[in-house]
A and B are shown apart, each in its own frame.
Chain A
Amino acid sequence: MLEYTPDRRPTGGLRLPAHKEASVAQPIARGFVPRTLILALQQHQGPATTPVVSPGDRVLKGQVVARARALRSAAVHASTSGHVRTIEDRLVPSVHAVHRTRCIVIDTDGKDEPLPPGKGARWPQDPERQLKRIRDGGIVGLGGGVFPTAEKLGAHTPCKALIINGVECEPYISCDDVLMREEAEGIIDGALIMRDILSAPECIVAIERDKPQAIEAILEAGRASGDASLKLADIPTIYPTGGERQLVEMLTGEEVPSTHYPSEIGYICQNVGTAFALHRLVRAGQPLLSRIVTVAGDGVARPQNVDTPIGTPIGELIEFCGGYRGEVDRLILGGSMMGYALPNDEMPITKGGNCIIVAARSEVRQDFSERYCIRCGNCGTACPARLLPQELLRAARSDDHEMLDEFGLTDCIECGCCDVICPSQIPLTEVFRNAKFAHARYQRQHVFSAETQQRYRRHQERQRADARRGKDLQDNLRHEVETDEAARQRAIEAAIKRARQRRSHDADQD
């Protein structure tokens, strides 16, 4: 396995305090079985799944409880055994915010009884059936984006390279790091399975330089596999190099066009956790039942990484880690940059839940007093999308949508770099997040107006053409009739004939 350092420097970004020491010091805690499971029917980007169990049913570990009907979907499984208590709407964390969705609530019985191994456990050869198996295995992108993996692997653009993302640049999150340390062979195996599905010529595992143990483990596993298409890129420790677009630029020098996915220019990015989940599905026939979740922060007794069954209520997970410690200020799902604060700990860990920060007062932003922009430009320097946040701020605050377009509001990835570096504590990310809603509405309106204008033009042209044609016909007729007696007779006969025809036609109809 070739190890190399990309010779490009990332655009923008920040060096941030990592806050990962506490959680990586412990091995992954395994064997945790919660008392309740809350399984949301929509844990991925795409249409919701359809439940196939009813309240009262006993379910076993690994049993499908909701089926993927649509292509861009992924099944949901019971992550341990128990009884279905109810199916109801609950607040569940999704990618950018909490949303209300239908959930299957299961009271577990603590037996963790698995489904007996069924038939058809062999991995199919046909790509279509492979993708279906992945969909039915409930596998989605575990990096946080929860994009259905089958959808991504079924991309139509020929793949130039498969990128396995182990960068994990955001503060606090360490689930990928520990997974790479402990399950490197599985990750490499999963990566090679993906590479075969995509028929990608090369497979690059990207890891940040501050994870030497993970790099070592992956290198060893890569060498053991003896595959020549595998490469390992060590990436400078700069947030947000782990973002798909940033990573593609860093590794290949190519930029993903504004309105496209990386897969559309031939680069498929998959998280290391996803690769491992695929390995489990293919080699052990086990669907996605659990994921590694980092429990971090000064407000939890034992910060560590936990192999958490999907659907575990966050409160139970924190209980498993020794419970709350001291005064907890905020509960954050995700990292401290792109994560968001949860209103309570009753919500479940979904497939995308990579990290829970139980934050004490001292470790999160408290000062929300905003000053005036001094145009220092540090925001622009830190922006990985090369935007000028100060100009965007001005445009957003004055609702100038043309300027928002020009300065690229929609290209903002909401990484939060500008916000953190701003000496005036301007909540740039929040302003942009809100402005995006207003801007989308404006763009819809704009498109509607332009289309309406088009339709109006066509309508007018047609009316004008009709009027012209009608007038021409009448003029000709009148001219003939007025000048020629024979033509006059012909016209009268023709009219009588038409009337007769219509009458007999009507009679036929009756």
Chain B
Amino acid sequence: MKFAVAPGPHTAPIASVPLTMRRVLYALTPAALAHVWFFGSGFAINFFVAAVTALVAEAAVLMLRRRPTRVPLRDGSAIVTAALLAFAIPPLTPWWIPAFGAATAIVVAKHMYGGLGRNLFNPAMVGYVVLLVSFPAELTQWIPPRMGDLDYEHLGFLAHLVYSLTGTLPPDFTIDALTRATPLDLVKEGLRSAQTYTEIRAGSLFGGVAGRGWEWINSFIALGGLYLLYTGTIRWHIPIMLLAGLLVPATLLWLIDADSFATPGFHLFSGATLLGAFFIATDPVSAAESDRGRLIYGAGIGLLTYCIRTWGGYPDGMAFSVLLMNSAVPLIDRYTRPRIYGRD
């Protein structure tokens, strides 16, 4: 009897890129729902716009590069980029902000470097940083969370959509009345103007450990991160070292001077700390390749984030830290190559 032959190993593969991306999206879902709950429908609109733009941009570039489009479009990597971008930008924002960010992420950060797997920098963070530097006004218009006792004027889905598309608010609403500084902004500004950390913390936007609403969204992000760890989608090296790199200096300095430095808990649950640790820095393409390298890579991001938050010009520094460490990856890889079995 004759049989067809095939090269080994014959065991079927136990992982796939689309599965990985799907898991990342599952893991982000609770946090996304929480985001919508606290900050209104803006997140959903931004995510939708970013996702559509990302897919269109991906298809267009692939066609220009004369590459097959079916497989890359279905692997979900563009959607993940769009989701991360939607988390990073303010909910109430014109439609072209997520669109521009997503297009930059896909076209410039991803395809100009050769497509998925070859990009040196994290696409979502490149998109965000380009937005942050180009449109600082739009990128700092955060609205306060929807909490019962805050004097928050609530915008419905339709109003969000209209603002996103046309830039007009319903009558009686002004953009200044709607937007507030983020907790990270408040801490930065407050400490700069010689307030003590405790005084700043007394503000109505602050909850148990960090910004109200924020702490919840970030808890859900941490939950998603634990799911990724549990399913083996990501490994512990980057998240743990990133958090350590951020929290160790935060704890030390807070212990030394509790008035001028924020608590480690505040750092942990504010801004993009947890999103960065579990979802952004763990992007395999732009991270270091060996386990040892990933320890250094993660710690570097955490440390840089703390430095930027504390002494830099921006309230949060996750995006910049990730990009800076991305650029250090070739160097890290070079010096953290594992010693081959049986060789000196």
Contact = CB atoms under 8 A, between A and B. Distances in A.
Interface of A: 11, 14, 16, 171, 245, 249, 255-258, 260, 315, 324, 328-332, 336-345, 357, 359, 363-369, 371-378, 380-381, 384-388, 390-391, 407-408, 411, 416, 419-425, 427, 429-430, 433
Given A249-B341, A371-B75, A375-B289, A328 B13 contact: no
A375 B284 CA distance: 6
Contacts of B15: 378, 421-423
25 contacts: A245-B341, A257-B342, A258-B342, A258-B343, A315-B1, A329-B3, A331-B3, A336-B8, A336-B11, A341-B10, A343-B5, A357-B10, A363-B12, A364-B12, A367-B13, A372-B118, A375-B285, A380-B290, A380-B338, A381-B291, A386-B341, A391-B289, A422-B15, A423-B16, A425-B13
Interface in B1-24: 1-17, 19-20
B180 interface: no
Nearest 7 pairs between A and B by C-beta?
Answer: A416-B9, A376-B284, A341-B5, A423-B15, A385-B341, A408-B340, A372-B117
Contacts of A14: 14
Given A372-B115, A374-B116, A338 B9 contact: yes
A16 B11 contact: yes
Contacts, number: 168
A260 B294 CA distance: 32
B339 interface: yes
Nearest to A424: B17
A330 B5 contact: yes
B289 A386 contact: no
B3 A386 contact: no
Interface residues of B, number: 40
Interface of B: 1-17, 19-20, 71, 75, 115-118, 235, 284-285, 287, 289-291, 294, 337-343
B341 A377 contact: no
A53 to B, nearest CB: 29
Mostly, the A contact residues are loop
Given A371-B75, A375-B287, 15 more contacts: A340-B7, A341-B3, A341-B4, A345-B1, A364-B6, A364-B10, A365-B9, A371-B71, A373-B117, A374-B116, A380-B290, A380-B291, A388-B337, A421-B13, A424-B117
A328 B342 CA distance: 41
Given A375-B284, A377-B289, A429 B338 contact: no
B230 to A, nearest CB: 15
A345 B10 CA distance: 18
B61 to A, nearest CB: 14
A374 B284 contact: yes
A387 B341 CA distance: 8
B13 A420 contact: yes
Contacts of B294: 377
